[in-house]
Structure 1
Amino acid sequence: MSMDYRRLGSTGTRVSELCFGTWRFGRETGGVVETTKSEAHDLLDTFAEHGGTFIDTANVYGTPNGKSEDWIGDWLAERDREQYVLASKVYFGFDESNPNGSGLSRTHIRRQIEGTLDRLGTEYLDVYYIHRWDDETPIEETLSTLTRLVDEGKVNYLGASTMASWKLMKALGKSEANGWERFEVTQPLFHAAYRDDVADYLDVCADQDLAVCPYSPLAGGFLTGKYERADPDDPTKVEAPDGSRASIYDSFSDFYLSERGWHVLDAIRGVADELDATPAQVALRWVMEQDAFTCIPIVGARTPEQLEENVGACDVSLSDDQFERIENARYADPDRKRRWGH
C-alpha cells in the first residue's frame, strides 16, 4: 500500500496523492499537547514509508508559534530534503507585541519567510501560501513581495488558502497584468458534504488549472463514521468518542453537523460496505477523484494507524454510480442552510 504521484496543478512538480497536515504538532488544547514531538516524528515516518512526500505546515502551528515547523525541521535534518515537497503559510499573528506582526505586508512576509526557512532547516519552500486574504494590505504589495521571494530562490510556487472567489480572481488578474508570479495551489475547506458552498471558488481553480489541496477533507473526522446521531430531530446532537474533536471543541457542531452531513455520511457508509473499505477511505477517494482539477487532500491523522487507513484511500476506486450517489446525497437535506463545514 503506497501512494502514486500527481502533477501539482499546472506546475512541473509532482507530489504524493495525499498531503500530510501538521497543524496538531505541538498544539496545546486545555494544557494538553495534541501531538508530541515523538508522535509527530512517528507520523512523518509512517507517511514517508508509504511514499508520502507532500508536507503541509504553517508558521503559527504549534504552541508557541513555530513549533510544528521546528519539529519538521528536526525530522528533515536526517533525511534528503530534496525528496520532499514542503508547504508553509503566512498571515496570522506571529508576534502579538509587534504592530507589524501579522498580515501580508512586505515587512511581515519578509520576516516570516526567514523564520520559517530557519525552523525547517531549508533554503527554500516548495509552496508558500497566504493563509488568508489581507484586507489591510494592497494585493499588489503582497504579490510583488512574494514574486521577489520566488526570484530569490526562497520559494518555488505561491499558494492561496480560503478566500472569496472574486478575491482569488482579482489576485490572478493582477499577477497576469503585472508579470508577477501567480497562485498555483489553493487550500479551501472542501469535502463531500461541502461542495456547493465553495463551488465558485472551485470553478476558478478548474478554469485556471490550479491545484486544490483541501483542508478537513473528512469534515473534522465526521466523515470517518466514528460519530453516531444522538437525536433524530436535532442533527447537531452526536455521540462522540472520548478524545475526538466533537468531545473537545464546542465549535464542532457549528462546523460539521447538519442534516446534509448525515445524508452524505449515510451514502459514504453504504459505498464503503460495497467496497469493503472504511468510510474515511471512501470520503477521501471522493475528493481525490474530482475530474475538473487536480485534488490532493490534506490528511491530519492522530496515529500511524489512522494515517495508514487514510493511505488506503489510494487503493480504492469509485464507480460513476457510487461517486454520484455521494455527491447527490447533499441534496436530500430539506433545510439547505449554509454551514461552515456542511
Structure 2
Amino acid sequence: MKYKLLGRSGLKVSELCLGTMGFGTDNGWGADKDTSFAIMEEFANAGGNFFDTANVYQKGTSERLIGDFISQQDRDFFVLATKYTLKDNQTNPNASGNNRKNMMRSVEESLKRLKTDFIDVLYLHIWDDITPIDEVLRGLDDLIRHGKVNYAAISDTPAWVVSKGNTLAELMGWSQFIALQVEYSLIQRTPERELIPMAKHYGMTVTPWAPLGGGALTGKYLRGEQGRVKAESNRRNENAEKITRTVMSIADELGVTAGNVALQWMRQKGFSCIPIVGATKIDQLKENLKTVDIALTDAQMQQLDEASNIPLGFPGDFFKEDAVKLNSFGGFYDRVEKRK
C-alpha cells in the first residue's frame, strides 16, 4: 500500500485502515486471538500501518489484542487510532460521554490495554449533546501537550459542531480535528449533504465506517447469505439491492469483487478518504486489500453515482438548480460555475 497524509498533518498512514471492532468474541461474535493476529500480520505485511479501534470494542478485548500484537512489533511503524465516549464502566456515572473526566479516565485505560505510552489518533466517538465543545478541545489539547495523544479526531458528530470546534481551536491555538469518521457508502451517502463538504473545507480526512454497508455491497445478501444486519434495515431493502446489482455488474466487467468496486468508488470521490475495512476472517482482508490495485473509469463512477443518488435537500439541491431559476441573483450562479 501507499501512504497518505491524515488531514492537515504530516502523519503518514496507509491508504486503507484496518477496522478491529471484530477482534475478540466477548459480544458473541468476532475473531479469536489467533485469527486476529493473522489478520494484523497480513495487513502489516501489505504495508498497512493504520489500525482503528475503540475502548468499548468487544468490551476492551479489541484494544488488548492490538496491544499484545504491537508489543511484539515496531511500535513506531503503526498508527493506532482509538476512541472515547461510550460507556465502559457500569458503576461510574462519568464513565461515558464527552466530558474531560471520562476522556482522561478512558485514555489511561486504553493505554494500559494497548500496552503503549501514547495513542496516535484519539477520536471523540459520538457527540453527547451535553459537553461544551471547548471542554472537549481543551482536554484533547492537554493530552497532546502531555504526549499521551498525538492527534485529535472526531466521529459521528453534526457538521456544525465540528465546524465550531475547529474554528475555536484555530482561534485558541489548540490542536484541531484532523480526521472525521462517519458511516459512508454507496447505500449511505447522506454525509455528502454537510459532513463531507465540511471535511473538505477544513482539510480533514474522512475515514468511513461500514464502507461496504455491513457487507450488503459485497452481494452476500443477494446470494442468500446471512449476517447481523436486519432484513428491514436500509442496507437490506429494494434500493440497496438495486445499488448492489450495479456494483456487481461493474465488478464482473473488471474481474474483481463487488467489495473492491464499492471501496474504490469512495476512494475516487474527490476528497481525502481512507476507508476502514473490517475483517474477522483473513480471506476478507485479502480481498479488500486488492482494492488499491484497481481504478474505475469515469463512466463507471457515473453509473455508480446515478444508481445511488440521493437528494441533497436544502440548500444543496437549491444550489444545483439551473441558471434560469437563479436569474434574480444577477448571474451569481453562472460566475460560480465558471470558477469551478
Q: TM-score, normalised by structure 1?
A: 0.87
Return the letter of the residue paired with 1:298.
I
1:220 aligns with 214
1:87 aligns with 81
Task: Give the C-alpha shift of residue 55 in structure 1.
Answer: 0.3
Match of residue 225, structure 2, among 241, 247, 272: 241
State the distance in 2 between where 1:266 and 1:40 align.
31
Residues 275-328 of structure 1 show CA distances to partners (whole Å, capped at 9, x for unaligned) of 11110011011111121x210000112211110000000111001111111011
Runs of 5+ unmatched residues, structure 2: 312-340
**Residue 173 of structure 2 corresponds to residue 148 of structure 1:** no
Q: Write the mapping of 1:136-215 to structure 2, written as runs, cut at 5 A.
A: 136-215=130-209
State the distance in 1 between where 2:191 and 2:29 align.
33
Task: Give the C-alpha shift of residue 172 in structure 1.
Answer: 1.4
Which of the two has higher C-alpha Rg?
2
Q: Write the mapping of 1:27-176 to structure 2, written as runs, cut at 5 A.
A: 27-29=25-27, 32-62=28-58, 65-176=59-170
**Residue 6 of structure 2 corresponds to residue 12 of structure 1:** no
Task: Give the C-alpha shift of residue 12 in structure 1.
Answer: 0.5
Contact (CA 8 Å) 1:191, 1:217: kept in 2 or not? yes
Task: Give the C-alpha shift of residue 260 in structure 1.
Answer: 2.7
- Evaluate the alpha carbon distance shift between residue 127 and residue 197 of structure 1 in structure 2; reply closer, same or farther with a 3 A threshold: closer
State the distance in 1 between where 2:167 and 2:25 align.
37
- Evaluate the alpha carbon distance shift between residue 210 and residue 101 of structure 1 in structure 2; reply closer, same or farther with a 3 A threshold: same
Task: Give the C-alpha shift of residue 270 in structure 1.
Answer: 1.5
Contact (CA 8 Å) 2:182, 2:191: kept in 1 or not? no
Question: Tell me, what secondary structure is at the counterpart of 1:119?
Answer: helix
Task: Give the C-alpha shift of residue 253 in structure 1.
Answer: 3.2
State the distance in 1 between where 2:133 and 2:207 align.
22
State the distance in 2 between where 1:331 and 1:135 align.
30
Runs of 5+ unmatched residues, structure 1: 229-238, 334-342
State the distance in 1 between where 2:243 and 2:304 align.
6
When the two structures are aligned, how many residues end up with a matched partner? Answer: 311
Task: Give the C-alpha shift of residue 198 in structure 1.
Answer: 4.1
State the distance in 2 between where 1:79 and 1:148 align.
28
Match of residue 322, structure 1, among 285, 300, 318: 300
Task: Give the C-alpha shift of residue 207 in structure 1.
Answer: 1.0
State the distance in 2 between where 1:104 and 1:332 align.
32
Task: Give the C-alpha shift of residue 193 in structure 1.
Answer: 2.1
State the distance in 1 between where 2:42 and 2:228 align.
22
Return the letter of the residue paired with 1:139.
I
Return the letter of the residue paired with 1:109.
M
